[in-house]
Structure 1
Amino acid sequence: MRAYYEQGKERDRLAGSKGALEFQRTIEILQRRMPPAPAAIADIGGGPGRYAFWLAELGYAVHHRDLMQLHVEQLQALGRPTIQTAVGDARHVDLPDSSVDAVLLLGPLYHLPEREDRIEALKEAGRIVRAGGPIFIAAISRWAPRLDGVLQERLYEQNPDFLQLLPQVERTGQLPPVVPNGFVGYTHRPGDLVEEVSDADLQLDDLVGVEGLPLAATDMQSRIVDQAAWNVLLDAARAIERVPELLGLSPHLLATATPAP
């Protein structure tokens, strides 16, 4: 994981057409439950700070934590005084109990292959948020490697071994790197994410698919410069976001939860 992120690729990941869809849909979903500014928001595992910066622009006080020193430095370089950032682990957050109004957990579950570690990260989010505050939890869909990586990105053309990995990935959820210093992660079935939220003493309020069905890269690129076509894509993602049979089609899942009473 560290070898992958130390390459610095994450800073611009949400800038391309595929990342733009993920970002626009994610902020749309967050805004359904975000408390009004200037509330305090914890962005745990927030990477180089794209969401932290967006929140700061809206007037929120942001507590950003990430495992990677590089990501902390990239965010510090943006010079936003309402963002307090430091290196931190989602399983052991250095914030007091009930000290923030909402928590973003938009990356840590991607990189915790052990279930007990994922539960610990979820419990920590529940510990630091005030009663009734929303916790937003992102996960990679179990079928993202096949639908996004193979059908959309055609990763097998440069990495033929990727096709051989798919059955194991879909059985175990464990996604190994397919190239040196490549992405390594964990992928969720929707039902497994629901169970983990419950086992962390959180109450699930919503679970949606973020992007909808992955499209070919060329299609995505043509749509981002055509507002009407882009709106059709967004509307499709909204229309199917809670359809149980289609949840796993989205590359990313986003759960909203609160501490159990």
Structure 2
Amino acid sequence: MTIELEKHYNKFCEDKRLTRRHGQVEYITSMKYIHEYLKDMPNAKILDVGAGTGRYSVQLANEGFDVTAIELVRYNLGILKSKKSTVKAIQGTALDLSRFTDNTFDMTLVFGPMYHLYKHEDKVKALREAKRVTKVGGTILVAYIMNEYSVITHGFKGDNIKECLESGKLTKDFHVVSEPEDLYDYVRIEDINKLDEEVGLQRIKLIAADGPANYMRSVLNGMDEETFNLFIQYHLTTCERPELLGASSHTLDILRKE
């Protein structure tokens, strides 16, 4: 799995994804909620687990926060370090944060790992580690890729639906079945709920991080700046609406350590 991820991210630029218009929606939304839970905490210590190339951690460090970043992929880590920020960047995995003592960070971001951990027990382990290193009363933000986005885009839009059903990549009720070679795992809200319950974390909010943005990339790219800003306003107004959550490409689970 690690080797396949290295190959994938050696070719895929996460920085560019989050600066394209559909990625900007996810980034702007996530940063809005990060700031909401960091208000009145100018000296907050933040851990960014699966930090990628540092899109979030570098920005937060530039804002004056004490940020530590963990990233598995050496290529991504190299880009992060090349940005010459104050981020303390370390190679490591979400499954083992033993270098950190309990109750160290005010906020922990887990924005990449759940995309690539396809076993339920590994997701639980990563979430437990994030909980352990977060202070009591602290906030944990966890990103997921949603099942229906994959079925609609890869399955139906990409005309792979019959093959996926026949090969067992989809269950009879259209839930994606991921294996290590697939790199990405896709969940439904009930899957996220089960993880939170098992780990013993209290949800504050579950939001649609990018809503319909990934379905309408070409439309967003064709918008003038004023219209795109209106779309951002619309999305930020509706991203907590429960009827939109499961269809979003990404969701952001905002949790508190009691």
2:150 matched to which residue of 1? 145
- Contact 2:154-2:160 at 8 Å conserved across structures: no
In structure 2, what is the Cα distance between the partners aligned to 1:48 and 1:165?
32
Q: Any conservation in 2 of the 1:43–1:103 contact (CA below 8 Å)?
A: yes
Q: For 1:47 and 1:174, locate their aligned partners in 2 and report how far apart those are by CA, in whole Å.
A: 25
Task: Name the amino acid aligned to 2:229.
Answer: N
Q: Deviations over 1:12-41 (max 9, x none)?
A: 221211111111111112222125223110
The answer to whether the aligner puts 1:7 opposite 2:11 as a matched pair is: yes
Residues 212 and 236, structure 1, Cα contact 8 Å, conserved in 2: no
CA contact (8 A) 1:42 1:102 kept: yes
Secondary structure of the corresponding residue to residue 174 of structure 2: helix
Which residue in the other structure is 2:22 paired with?
A: 18
* 8 Å contact kept, 1:141–1:253: yes
1:165 aligns with 2:191: no
Q: 1:229 offset after TM fit, Å?
A: 1.1
Alignment match, 1:233: 231
Unaligned segments of structure 1, at least 5 residues: none
Question: Does structure 1 residue 222 correspond to structure 2 residue 222?
Answer: yes
- State the distance in 2 between where 1:235 and 1:148 align: 25
Partner of 2:190: 191
Query: Deviations 1:149-173 (Å, cap 9, x if unpaired)?
Result: 568xx5x2xxx54663277177343
Q: TM-score, normalised by structure 2?
A: 0.87
Q: Give 1:245 shift.
A: 2.5
Q: Distance in 2 between matches of 1:59 and 1:5?
A: 28
Choose from 96, 107, 115 the match for 1:102.
107
Give 3-state SS (helix, strand or coil) of 1:207's partner.
strand
Query: Within 2, Cα distance between the matches of 1:117 and 1:134?
Result: 21
For 2:12 and 2:83, locate their aligned partners in 1 and report how far apart those are by CA, in whole Å. 15
Equivalent position amino acid for 2:122 in 1 = D
Q: After superposition, where does 1:108-123 map in structure 2 within 5 Å?
A: 108-123=113-128
Q: Does 1:48 align with 2:53?
A: yes
Counterparts of 1:164 and 1:32, CA distance in 2: 44
Q: Say whether the 8 Å CA contact 1:46–1:66 is kept in structure 2.
A: yes
Deviation at 1:75, TM superposition (A): 0.7
Counterpart-to-counterpart distance in 2, 1:45 and 1:72? 10
Does residue 66 (structure 1) correspond to residue 71 (structure 2)? The answer is yes
Cα drift, residue 126 of structure 1: 0.7
Q: Distance in 2 between matches of 1:150 and 1:217?
A: 18
Corresponding residue pairs, total = 247
SS where residue 131 of structure 1 aligns?
strand
Q: Is the 8 A contact 2:208 2:240 kept in 1?
A: yes
User: How far does residue 10 in structure 1 lie from its aligned partner after superposition?
Assistant: 2.2
Partner in structure 2 of residue 86 of structure 1: 90
The 1-side partners of 2:140 and 2:176 are apart by: 23
C-alpha contact 2:45 2:66 (8 A) present in aligned 1: yes
- The one-letter amino acid of 2:176's match is G
Q: Matched residue of 1:122: which SS?
A: helix
Alpha-carbon distance in structure 2 between the residues aligned to 1:53 and 1:194: 30
Return the offset for 1:96. Answer: 1.4
